[in-house]
Amino acid sequence: MPHQKNNLESYPPVFRQLNDTAAAEVKKNAMEETVPIPVVDLQNLGLEKLREASKDWGLFRLVNHGIPETLLSKLEEQAKKMFSLPFESKQALLSSPMSYFWGTPVLTPTGDALKGAALNINWLEGVNVPLSQLPQFQSQDPVLDCFRVLLEEYGRHLGRIATTLFEAMVKDLNLDPKQSESNIDESTGFIRVYRYPAGVMAEEAWGMIAHTDSSVLSIVNQDKVAGLEIFKDNKWQLVNPVPNTLIVHIGDMMQAISDDEYISVKHRVRVNKQEERFSICYFVFPAEGSVIRSSKYRPFTYADFQEHVQKDLKTIGYKVGLDRFKVNADG
């Protein structure tokens, strides 16, 4: 099958039609102020710097992470090839355990016709990859087969990094290492690869609306196109991409495990008018059935947490998250 360069046929229909029918001349966005987030060196892991970043920021930039630069560049290149396939081909080729998705709902009031549809979804497409099941994925397509091999190698690195960081956090928080073992489980790790199409709707639609991650830790590899923003000091600030570094987010589970010593950072993704943006995100969770105990929250498992999140999204339209489990809070 021929692989096409990025074009309208590779976009989901809503994005395709908007770009096709509204190809107005656009101006470059003014440069936004970027925030100098803390830097943590995995090869020289100081607990004080790790604590400061996790407590005051809820994220940090990781350097000396040990992932070969060639692997990162090959993975990005292969992701671009995969996303450039025609939309219908991606739907057909990406089957269990990988899954293709686009425009996840943001649950906002609907607008009119096509424009309303675009404002009602996240302006993205993605591939969900549960790493423990990845060896089961078989494809005759050379691009997807190469993608699988690279993702497996990348996943092994991310499991190593997440475990190393979590063990240091357990030490910093003076938690019982034995009791904390089940609070992170490499077998739960999955990767989501995102493409945020460039578009004329960039000033009205969001690549991803503001949220916190439900994970223990999330580790993001973003390309050279800016877009990630965090909410810090009562304002939104841009996290600048830096080559060969990773962005580590503290997730909701880690905030609870830390007794609110660490914070789960609220973040969002802005769409770029001129350039597509790609990011590769890793998420890891507690072991199934592992009970999180904290003085600030009622005991709960990740399954309990997810059940409440899904219920809240359906009934009230947004994620309440950890507040549902606070001591004396209504369930």
Each residue of 222-252: pLDDT tens digit? 988 989 999 999 999 999 999 999 999 999 9
CB atoms within 10 A of CB 296: 14
pLDDT digits (tens, 9 = 90+) for 302-324: 999 999 999 998 898 889 999 99
| Residue 140 belongs to a domain | yes
pLDDT score, position 119? 59
Q: Say if residue 55 is in the same domain as residue 128.
A: yes
pLDDT exceeds cutoff 70 at 116: no
96, burial (CB in 10 Å: exposed 0-12, middle 13-18, buried 19+)? exposed
Q: Say if residue 169 is in the same domain as residue 285.
A: yes
| Residue 240 belongs to a domain | yes
pLDDT digits (tens, 9 = 90+) for 55-81: 999 999 999 999 999 999 999 999 999
pLDDT exceeds cutoff 90 at 106: no
Helices and strands in the chain: count of H runs, count of E runs: 9, 12
Q: Say if residue 93 is in the same domain as residue 143.
A: yes
pLDDT score, position 221? 95
Mean pLDDT of the chain: 86
Range of the domain at 209: 8-290
Q: Say if residue 247 is in the same domain as residue 193.
A: yes
pLDDT exceeds cutoff 70 at 330: no
Residue 95 banded pLDDT, cuts 50, 70, 90 = confident
pLDDT score, position 159? 97
Per the structure, the count of domains in the chain is: 2
pLDDT score, position 120? 63
pLDDT exceeds cutoff 60 at 110: no
| Residue 1 belongs to a domain | no
| Residue 3 belongs to a domain | no
| Residue 309 belongs to a domain | yes
DSSP string for 120-134: TB-S-EEEEEEGGGG
The pair of structure tokens assigned to 62 is 């990781």
| Residue 85 belongs to a domain | yes
Residue 331 banded pLDDT, cuts 50, 70, 90 = low
Q: Say if residue 318 is in the same domain as residue 212.
A: no
Q: Say if residue 126 is in the same domain as residue 248.
A: yes
Q: Say if residue 159 is in the same domain as residue 128.
A: yes
Residue 290 banded pLDDT, cuts 50, 70, 90 = very high
Q: Say if residue 211 is in the same domain as residue 164.
A: yes
Cα–Cα dist 254/164, whole Å: 14
pLDDT digits (tens, 9 = 90+) for 201-230: 656 678 898 999 999 999 999 988 989 999
| Residue type for position 185 | D
Give percent of the chain above pLDDT 90.
63
63: closest CA among 189, 163, 165, 191? 165
Q: Say if residue 69 is in the same domain as residue 191.
A: yes
Mean pLDDT, residues 277-293 taken together:
96
- What are the backbone dihedrals phi and psi of residue 26, each rounded to the nearest 5 degrees, phi first? -120, 155
Q: Say if residue 51 is in the same domain as residue 127.
A: yes
Q: Say if residue 28 is in the same domain as residue 87.
A: yes
pLDDT score, position 230? 95
pLDDT digits (tens, 9 = 90+) for 3-59: 434 477 888 887 776 654 444 433 344 345 577 899 999 999 999 999 999 999 999
User: What would the 3-class secondary structure string for 175-197 be?
Assistant: CCHHHHHHHCEEEEEEEEEEEEC
| Residue 120 belongs to a domain | yes
Q: Say if residue 81 is in the same domain as residue 100.
A: yes
Q: What is the CATH number of the domain that holds 22?
A: 2.60.120.330
pLDDT digits (tens, 9 = 90+) for 121-152: 788 999 999 999 998 888 888 888 899 999 99
